[in-house]
Structure 1
Amino acid sequence: MAAAHVLVFPFPAQGHMNCMMHFATGLLGAGLHPPRLGDAAAALAAGSRRLHFMSVPDGLPDDHARAVGDFLEHMELLRTKGSVAYRVLLTSLVRAGDDSAGFPPVTCVVADLSIPRLSIPRLFELGELPFPAGGDLDEPVRGVPGMENFLRRRDLPSFSRGCGNPMLQKVNEDTAHSRKARALVLNTAASMEGPALAHIAPNMRDVFAIGPLHTMFPAPAAAGSLWRADDGCMAWLDVLPDRSVVYMSLGSLTVISLEQFTEFLHGLVAAGYPFLWVLRPDMSAALREAITAAGDSKARVVEWAPQLDVLRHRAVGCFLTHAGWNSTLEAAVEGVPTVCWPFFADQQMNSRFVGGVWRTGLDMKDVCDRAVVERMVREAMESGEIRASAQALARQLRRDVADDCGSSAAEFQRLVGFIKVLSLSMADTGQ
């Protein structure tokens, strides 16, 4: 059989790189060759001769901030300038591999640049999209199978709001392109999103639900990280009582105004619990105010945290999060109740599932008021019902990734076999 050589191509953002690093680690364990296009995690690359890192230019200068406000520009440059360099590299890797690293030709590509949202074309057909910016956000959305009873306009991706949003049209176009793929690989578990998987499957040639990847295939904490985590916060947590701390992190892209920051701060202080707050380097102007307002004994503010370790720590009682998918999965696996304040993209939908389907936390979308922050943080910290739901989901997810009987573990093995068959067919056809 021809050697299977997988090219893993993440979108160049922190959350995407995190997920793909765990995926590449899993492929290594299965005996495949998975090089990954990117600059980070050189330490992991040095530890394995079968993991090779390469990069392609995205069309922006090295010192460009690549902020969320530039997202459409970044996407367009990746589609034009970046794709040219990518195709040149891919062509060389498919034809000859990488002789200098001893890699065989590439036989399979796993890319996350085109994310299918398979219901969006149908929502256009039904007239559910686009809806006006001033429309009723609590209007039910009826066109998504399995979600008729709980989905509202405000739960759709943020780019759905307002007619003429270019991002909405782009996602609609990308959905058609995604259906041409040989398979769709999802970092989820059947126990979390069974109805959604059942809806997706008939629209794709094959679907693999192989998550949560970070639990199945742990990678070094620093691998893929754009910022250095402040490990000192772990010692601060060590001296605090069990389930007494609110951990707050809004991820790698969320932008908050000074007014929103002030509401969060006053709400956290009023809730009365110690809190660990991640304020990225680009938010660092607020650090002194946060520490002064709360006092050193009640607050710890860091530019970046070792999130997996924090969520596993006994002192953490709840997680105030942007509801990015990585953060949502990481909290779910650890059974930590969440308060969700989504910013954009998939986060609106994720937060609705947390509050309205899994019941593992509270959905605070579209609100940034100190009284609401205080009330929801207290409820997440103190509700036995929410904690029980969170812990029940955590137990199920651990069963899902168990090697002997887990559905995600079995799906990953099926994926490995699928990739090997692709490699053999390429060798047989000379493609």
Structure 2
Amino acid sequence: MCRQPHVLVLPFPAQGHIAPIMKLALLIGAHGVKLTFVNTEFIHAKMMASLPEKSEERRLINFVSVPDGLDTEDDRSDLVKLTESVHRTMSGHVRDLITKIEGSNVDERISCVLADTSVGWVHEMAKNFGIEAVAFWTSAGACLAISLRIPLLLDAGVVDNNGTFILDEPISLSKDLPSWTSSDVGSDPDVQKLVFEFCLFVSKYAKFYDLIICNSNYELEPVALRLIPNILPIGPLAIESNSSSFSGSLLPQDETCLQWLETQPPSSVVYVAFGSTGTLSLQQVEELALGLELSSQPFLWVVQSGSLAGFPDGFVERVADRAKFVEWAPQEKVLAHPSVAAFMSHCGWNSTLEGLGVPFLCLPYFADQFYNKKYICDVWKVGLELEEDENGIKTRDEVFSKIKMLLSSDIIKAKALQMKEAGRKSWDEDGDSFNNLKKFIEHIKSL
């Protein structure tokens, strides 16, 4: 009898990284592959609290945890502090875990490590153990293509060691792709340096990847994906995943919003959500609120606890008959609902893929979100950007105007449906993502 293949899965400990790799893990586990999913202790506790007792995840996956090096009271939304601690302390605990597994029953030995590129040191570790190293990229393929070219851009004097564009000229990887500018990672120099260091980190460990799995497909990114060696696109995972599944959510999902959507007219609701780490200034929240109020459209807003206090006086009461506020939503179910007409989004890659089929109002604020906005508005033409005024604010009038423009555009609606079909097509039998998943599972079983 052949040994059951065993995959060790390691995400970066953040919501946007865990959800897609969890979806991929479930697809792999459904084909008879043993899975060990490694979270930090902090994330593990949140996940186990949110995970239904009789869920598919608990049946298919063995969840284990290791320390992240931070104290209980530390702020894990501080990305710099979290990343530094993960790199400094987590690797030793993961090495001990792999050593323990490899030294146990031969039937338990690891066939391959499937790990987020944000924890690239584990790919080097896997190779040192003689284990196949598979990288998982959570963003657009175009962002990976630019990351892998950072050493070349440094050598050519195009960017400096802080990630600043020396000549402040756009960087083009292909005439068929939107170019990169310094503003594509935000205007804050500290953020630019953080993103640049991440890209350097990815390029540093790329030599250890036996394979890179990307949550995308050739229908969505035909040019970018062909620029990346050893790439295996398996996406959009949002389309193939079972939307009733937990699939990595670390917060309780408020499903009362689905019942509320049932009471709204078809194609009328503006869904507003800015991800798990989205933070907007009080002034910006106020302008968004007043713009939504001016639009007279019903809306569903995912807003964190305590943020309601930042709304204008009397706002919640004035819109009570056409608004719903929740702390966390089952986003894929919401976006698939026929009442939803538009998605006001930060343009994170997960949200971008989950929103295929729905016109976008784009409000990016960090890292790759600015480039994803270019895909949405300039390449796919399925959304509009909320423009800033001279003070860097998206005003209520801008919000009102763009909502009306978006909802009245039959062209954008048609394009959105075309993009959803492009995503779905890859999961048809003999579609690219369907075949690539099949190829990957066969590869795991051959190791």
TM-score range (shorter-chain normalised) is 0.7 to 0.9
Q: Which residue of 1 aligns with 2:204?
A: 176
Q: Which residue of 1 aligns with 2:430?
A: 405
**Matched-pair identity in %:** 29
The CA deviation at 1:63 is: 3.6
Alpha-carbon distance in 2 for matches of 1:191, 1:290: 46
The CA deviation at 1:337 is: 0.5
Query: Does structure 2 retain, via aligned residues, the 8 Å contact 1:319–1:337?
Result: yes
1:339 to 361, 364, 372: 361
Q: Measured at CA, do residues 164 and 410 of structure 1 come closer, stay the same or move farther in structure 2, by a change above 3 Å?
A: closer
Alpha-carbon distance in 1 for matches of 2:344, 2:166: 26
Alpha-carbon distance in 1 for matches of 2:286, 2:422: 38
Query: Does structure 1 retain, via aligned residues, the 8 Å contact 2:10–2:38?
Result: yes
Q: Which residue of 2 aligns with 1:32?
A: 33
Q: What per-residue deviation string (whole Å, max 9, x for no partner) do you get for residues 107-151 of structure 1?
A: 1111112465223333334444359999999x6523423556x32
Query: Does structure 1 retain, via aligned residues, the 8 Å contact 2:23–2:247?
Result: no
Structure 1 gap ranges (5+) = 424-431
Q: Does 1:120 align with 2:150?
A: yes
Q: Which residue of 2 aligns with 1:427?
A: none
Query: Does structure 2 retain, via aligned residues, the 8 Å contact 1:242–1:316?
Result: yes
Query: Does structure 1 retain, via aligned residues, the 8 Å contact 2:239–2:423?
Result: no
Q: Does 1:373 align with 2:399?
A: yes
The CA deviation at 1:86 is: 1.3
Alpha-carbon distance in 2 for matches of 1:290, 1:171: 45
Q: What per-residue deviation string (whole Å, max 9, x for no partner) do you get for residues 284-323 of structure 1?
A: 4336857536421121111111111111111100000011
Q: Measured at CA, do residues 146 and 12 of structure 1 come closer, stay the same or move farther in structure 2, by a change above 3 Å?
A: farther
Q: Does 1:222 align with 2:272?
A: no
Query: Does structure 1 retain, via aligned residues, the 8 Å contact 2:285–2:311?
Result: no
Name the amino acid aligned to 2:199: V
2:75 to 65, 82, 94: 65
Q: Does 1:392 align with 2:412?
A: no
Name the amino acid aligned to 1:43: P
Q: How does 1:260-271 map to 2 (within 5 A)?
A: 260-271=284-295
Alpha-carbon distance in 1 for matches of 2:312, 2:95: 47
Q: Which residue of 2 aligns with 1:383?
A: 409
What SS does structure 2 have at the residue aligned with 1:65? coil
Q: Measured at CA, do residues 412 and 96 of structure 1 come closer, stay the same or move farther in structure 2, by a change above 3 Å?
A: same
1:79 to 87, 91, 98: 87
Q: Which residue of 2 aligns with 1:107?
A: 111
2:330 to 282, 294, 306: 306
Alpha-carbon distance in 2 for matches of 1:228, 1:290: 28
Q: Which residue of 2 aligns with 1:245?
A: 269
Alpha-carbon distance in 2 for matches of 1:30, 1:132: 44
The CA deviation at 1:94 is: 2.8
The CA deviation at 1:395 is: 1.3
Name the amino acid aligned to 1:123: L
Q: Which residue of 2 aligns with 1:191?
A: 219
Q: Which residue of 1 aligns with 2:126?
A: none
Alpha-carbon distance in 1 for matches of 2:218, 2:362: 22
Structure 2 gap ranges (5+) = 121-136, 138-143
The CA deviation at 1:242 is: 0.7
The CA deviation at 1:163 is: 9.8
Q: What per-residue deviation string (whole Å, max 9, x for no partner) do you get for residues 147-196 of structure 1?
A: 56x32415633388569824423421331212321110001111001111
- The aligned length equals 407
Instruction: Give me the TM-score of the superposition, normalised by structure 1.
Output: 0.86
Instruction: Give me the TM-score of the superposition, normalised by structure 2.
Output: 0.83
Q: What per-residue deviation string (whole Å, max 9, x for no partner) do you get for residues 69-88 of structure 1?
A: x2111111101111111111
Q: Measured at CA, do residues 261 and 293 of structure 1 come closer, stay the same or move farther in structure 2, by a change above 3 Å?
A: farther
The CA deviation at 1:336 is: 0.4
